[in-house]
Structure 1
Amino acid sequence: MTGQVTTVDGRVAGRRGQATRQKLLDCLGKMLGSAPYRDVKVIDVARKAGTSPATFYQYFPDVEAAVLEIAEETLRESAGLSELVEGRTWAGKAGWRTAEDLVDGFVAFWRKHDAILRVIDLGAAEGDRRFVRIRTRVQGAVAKPLADSIDELRTRGRATEQTAPPVALAGSLVTMLAAVTAQPKSLQALGAKQADLRPALALLLYLGVTGRKPTTR
């Protein structure tokens, strides 16, 4: 966490206060992995953090405010996903590696933040504009540079002619990555092996971006 941290009543938190606030967020983040966030109570978070509800309320008005703080932290970290696309080539063997690296990096990020991303998805699906904004920007960290890559490939004649606009195509590909990463057990129940999902996603990603069969060797 960077920048000045204040309490609910506007006081600047000292080093100890900042550490307590972060511990509350860390404990809440872990609890979201095992319980629906609406079932998480302030007293439960405080107890897990080894403090009191009164201390929790010094930093957050309620659990939802703390959840949104975790979501904002995840959003800030998602900016690094752009590096998986920007400046990367989609030509030849290097292009296939770009697709694989993007899948690996995206999946790693999604799994690391799985609990809060599920909460963001829920809030966005219910129409909460705060969660919709965060969800849009997280996916946009990949979708925007990917759309630029698709547009550049078409301009240079290095992608087959496709009718879908770059933004729509990139957005669909990123949504596919998110959906598959978020629902591995459902796909496994249908008979898809976990080991097969990575190359399948890389293939669909490469085909979607270039419209060409990848060169893997």
Structure 2
Amino acid sequence: MTGQVTTVDGRVAGRRGQATRQKLLDCLGKMLGSSPYRDVRVIDVARKAGTSPATFYQYFPDVEAAVLEIAEVTVREGASLNELVAGRAWAGKAGRQTAEDLVEGFLAFWRKHDAILRVIDLGAAEGDRRFVRIRTRVQGALVKPLADAIEAQRARGRAAGEEPAAAAVAGSLVTMLAAVSSQPKSLQSLGAKQTDLKPALVQLVHLGVTGRKPAK
């Protein structure tokens, strides 16, 4: 952890305090992967971290505040997703590679942060504007560069057929990737094998950006 960290009452936390705070966040993050978000209690987080509820309350007013802190870290890591699209080629075999890297990179990001991303989606679905803003920022890391890539393809005359708004196409593609990433078991129960999902996503992403199937 870098930068100045303060307690709830405004005191600057020392190195030991920062380590304790981070341990609480790490333990909470692990618990979100195995317990429903609403069932996680301060006393459980503190016990798992080997400390007391009083110590937890020195750094966070409640569990939700700590969850939002984890979500902010995820947003910062998610900003690097734009590197999967910005400045990348979409023509020929290079275009197929770009689509493959984008799909694989997104799926890997989602696997790594699955627990907190599910909590973000839950909060956003319930109308909590804090979580809505966080989800928008996560998706925005890809939507903007992807929309720019679509516009660039159209400017070069490489996109075929009807041309809906680039931002709408980009947003739809990112939402599709997020939905598939978050529901692998449901899709498998419907007959969509895990090994078939990635090639399908690569083709759909490439079609969405260029209007054409990826080169073989």
TM-score for both structures, normalised by structure 1: 0.98
**What CA distance in whole angstroms lies between the structure 2 residues aligned with 1:213 and 1:116?**
34
Residue in structure 2 matched with residue 136 of structure 1 by the alignment: 136
Q: In 2, are the aligned partners of 1:42 and 1:56 still within 8 Å (CA)?
A: yes
Gaps of 5+ in 2: none
**How high is the sequence identity, in percent, across the aligned residues?**
81
Q: In 2, are the aligned partners of 1:154 and 1:161 still within 8 Å (CA)?
A: no
Once the 2 structures are TM-superposed, how far is the Cα of residue 183 of structure 1 from its aligned partner?
0.2
Deviations 1:83-125 (A, max 9, x none): 0000101000000000000000000000100000000000001
**What CA distance in whole angstroms lies between the structure 2 residues aligned with 1:41 and 1:34?**
13
**What CA distance in whole angstroms lies between the structure 1 residues aligned with 2:213 and 2:20?**
53
Once the 2 structures are TM-superposed, how far is the Cα of residue 34 of structure 1 from its aligned partner?
0.8
Residue in structure 2 matched with residue 177 of structure 1 by the alignment: 177
Residue correspondence of structure 1 range 112-123 to structure 2 within 5 A: 112-123=112-123
Deviations 1:36-87 (A, max 9, x none): 1111000000000000000000000000000000000000100000000001
Gaps of 5+ in 1: none
SS in 1 for 2:87: coil
Deviations 1:141-189 (A, max 9, x none): 0111000000011011121143310000000000000000100000100
Residue in structure 1 matched with residue 12 of structure 2 by the alignment: 12
TM-score for both structures, normalised by structure 2: 0.99
Amino acid at match of 1:96: R
Residue in structure 1 matched with residue 39 of structure 2 by the alignment: 39
Number of residue pairs matched by the alignment = 216
Residue in structure 1 matched with residue 168 of structure 2 by the alignment: 168
Residue in structure 2 matched with residue 84 of structure 1 by the alignment: 84
Q: In 1, are the aligned partners of 2:93 and 2:214 still within 8 Å (CA)?
A: yes
